[in-house]
Structure 1
Amino acid sequence: MILPIVAYGDPVLRKESEAIGKDYEGLDTLISNMWETMYNANGVGLAAPQIGLAIRLFLVDTSPFADDEELTEGERKQLDGFKKVFINAHMLEETGTSWAFNEGCLSIPDIREDITRKDTITLRYMDEAFNEYKETFDGLLARVIQHEYDHIQGVLFTDKVSSLKKRLLKGKLANISKGKIEVDYKMRFPLLKKGR
């Protein structure tokens, strides 16, 4: 089932998410619905807060990036077929070189900005069967994971832009909250006036 994606301005996007256990009701169905929702919106990642749930769950499928001609063969190979569920993730380390990359977000449509992040991360997380992992990721893979991880921490990519850029984006962000935007996937807008 395709779920509505929560738009910028909804308080759930600002909450630090709670850990969940194996007994979380309907988890398999939720994960399946999240995959369907993400693919319907042409995303490469989706976090539970983006569908209105403040729980430590996100998923990533970087396969669409594998077609990028500008990437090296090794980078394309790393991204192709990388499809993973992350439950109760905790960032252990962010290291390496800082680099900028143009990011967007399904909760903040039509806004893209260059965001600087470290190129290597180490994460502790569980998969959908609650097997625990400690894993290091780098490059574009690390970036996608960092973006989704930020969601479960209550952080948005627009928080990482300069104060000048934030002022320039203020009107656009307000319009997104009010639903004054065209999107081709289901969304829930926190400030949408009913009956318009």
Structure 2
Amino acid sequence: MARIDYYFATVSPYTYIAGTRPEEIAARHGAEIAYKPLDIMALFARTGGTPPKDRHPSRQEYRLQELRRQAAKNGMPINLHPAHWPTNPAPSSYAFIAAQKAGGGDLGALVAAFTRACWAEERNIADEGVIRECLAAAGFAPDLANAGMLEAAETYSRNLEEAVEAGVFGAPFYIVGDERFWGQDRLADLDAHLASLG
């Protein structure tokens, strides 16, 4: 069975636009997904990236145009200037890691719930109430919002180290064996690669 290492950020607009397509692709090819939430700003700092607010104005403007186009292409609503972005991604990421350990729900739906809350619903995913609602909507116990915080923090930190070592520099990022795919606009390439594996 092929394995997709899926590096993502709960505050990433491109992770939001990916929606549940990674899970659909994995299901189509009988692949498993190893979800690895990480701190995208720390990743930028470690791999030569620049946070959006520090980019040249032309890059900032293009980013917004591209987000609008990609969201429309995939039929997804998006607020290009969400009220709660940037926000602290750690609480939602910790909750995701706790849910991953606990099981019983849909992890793909949880990624979608967190990112949709930020980029389409004007909700603060650093807020415990919002986190609990997202967990419940994806079939997980809401109390996981406060479960295993120390272990989750360690996993979150380890995901960043693994990402840097694996050559990850953005989100979403998908790795299958030695093949790397950056961005939701590379999901068709990921799909084709998995198909080639038979």
What is the TM-score of this pair, normalised by structure 2? 0.27
Larger strand share, 1 or 2:
1
Larger helix share, 1 or 2:
2
